[in-house]
Amino acid sequence: MKERLFNWLGENIWVFLTGSIFLGMLFPKLKIFKPYIAYFLMVVLYVTFLKVDVNVALSHIKRPLLIIYYVLMNLVISPIILYFLFFAFTKNYSILSSVLLLGLVPSGVAASAMTDVSKGETPLTVVLTIVSHLVAIFTIPTIFFIVFRKSMNLNYISILIDVAKLIGIPLILATLSNMIFKEKINFIKKRAKFFTVISLVFVISSIMAVNSTYIKETPTKVLIYLSILYVVFIFSQLFSFFTVPSLSVKEKIAISNAKTFSNIGLGLVIASKYLSPEAAIILALSQIPWPTMLISLKIILKLSSKISSSPL
């Protein structure tokens, strides 16, 4: 009975992640958990890395053409397409700069967990998360300067140190756990999705609690911004999934999730420091769509399956 419950929780993670949005809205006091978001993300990554085969992850590093293709398509071409897509409808700097920034930020630390629960190639997402953070050092300031003629003197060393902590500590702990405890650690492995769900619920609900006042006071603006953000997220998800037709479905999921579940926290820091207040608000609100992207991923997988199985 317990095992069935744990499996059900894991299979329906999107229900809980979406529900966390409303949980944070209904209970603003949940913002007390905001200082601990990094630790909850570390728990998510620790559980995810327990199931990652290091050798498989290393094998993906030996595929430089795939990594280069991912970087060009998803961290350069895709953001520029997004910018011009919105430029055709608005000249609002705040909207255009936030859209471009969302397209440029690297993979988020939760992307690997999302790939794991989506039954994708998790080690590939892990590799792309690390690589995309290194590449973002150059792509974010360069493309922003080209498009807006706006310089960004970011402290990327500090950013890289933070990311190294978020990814490195769980990775080391998971590796040591697999080496030292072996059989005993299977208890956590079997319930990996459950621990992932619980941790992400705390992350999302606390973020929503922080933004609940603004959302309640300006519902019309929020709806407009959310409409824009959903276009950005769905475009990124579709673009990253369908621009790698030769890969397996598991690898497509890994690449799509690496792009979709991006490092919004980094984007928010950059927006708050270098962009307009409106752009920073849009980046903050972008934390609403991403938990629901597992729903659209399921739809994409079903459509993709029908297309591939239909006769020519």
Residue 150: band (very low, low, confident or very high) from pLDDT cuts 50, 70, 90? low
All domains of the chain in start order, with CATH = 22-298 (1.20.1530.20)
Q: Give the pLDDT confidence score for residue 176 in this predicted structure.
A: 87
Give 60-71 pLDDT, tens digit per residue.
Answer: 778 889 999 999
Tokens of 117: 């629960």
- From the list 301, 214, 226, the residue with the least C-alpha distance to 256 is 301
| Cβ–Cβ < 8 Å for 48, 197 | no
* pLDDT of amino acid 18: 79
User: Are 166 and 109 a contacting pair, CB within 8 Å?
Assistant: yes
User: Among 102-106, 131-135, 147-151, 286-290, which is the least confidently predicted range?
Assistant: 147-151
d(CA 312, CA 310): 7
**Which pLDDT score is estimated for 153?**
62
CA nearest to 239, candidates 92, 79, 108: 79
Instruction: Tell me what the mean pLDDT of segment 102-109 comes to.
Output: 88
> Encoding tokens for residue 172?
């080391």
**Among residues 197, 190, 254, 261, which one has the least CA distance to residue 10?**
197
pLDDT at 169: 85
> In the prediction, which pLDDT does 11 show?
61
Place of tokens 């630390």: 109
pLDDT tens track for 218-242: 889 989 999 999 999 999 999 999 9
**77-86, 180-189, 206-215, 220-229: range with lowest mean pLDDT:** 180-189
Per-residue pLDDT, 233: 95
Count CB atoms within 10 A of the CB of residue 147: 16
80-96 pLDDT, tens digit per residue, is: 999 999 999 998 988 99
Assess whether pLDDT exceeds 60 at residue 5.
no
Above 80 in pLDDT, residue 189?
no
More confident residue, 149 or 68: 68
**pLDDT surpassing 90 at residue 255:** yes
- Residue-wise pLDDT tens digits, 43-60: 877 887 787 766 777 777
Predicted model pTM: 0.80
For residue 147, give the H/E element and its range: helix 122-148
The one-letter code for the residue type at 88 is A
Distance CA 297, CA 236 (A): 11
Does the pLDDT at position 79 exceed 90?
yes
Q: What is the pLDDT of residue 235?
A: 95
- Residue 10 pLDDT level (bands cut at 50, 70, 90): low
What's the pLDDT score for residue 135?
86
pLDDT at 250: 93
The whole-number pLDDT of residue 165 equals 79
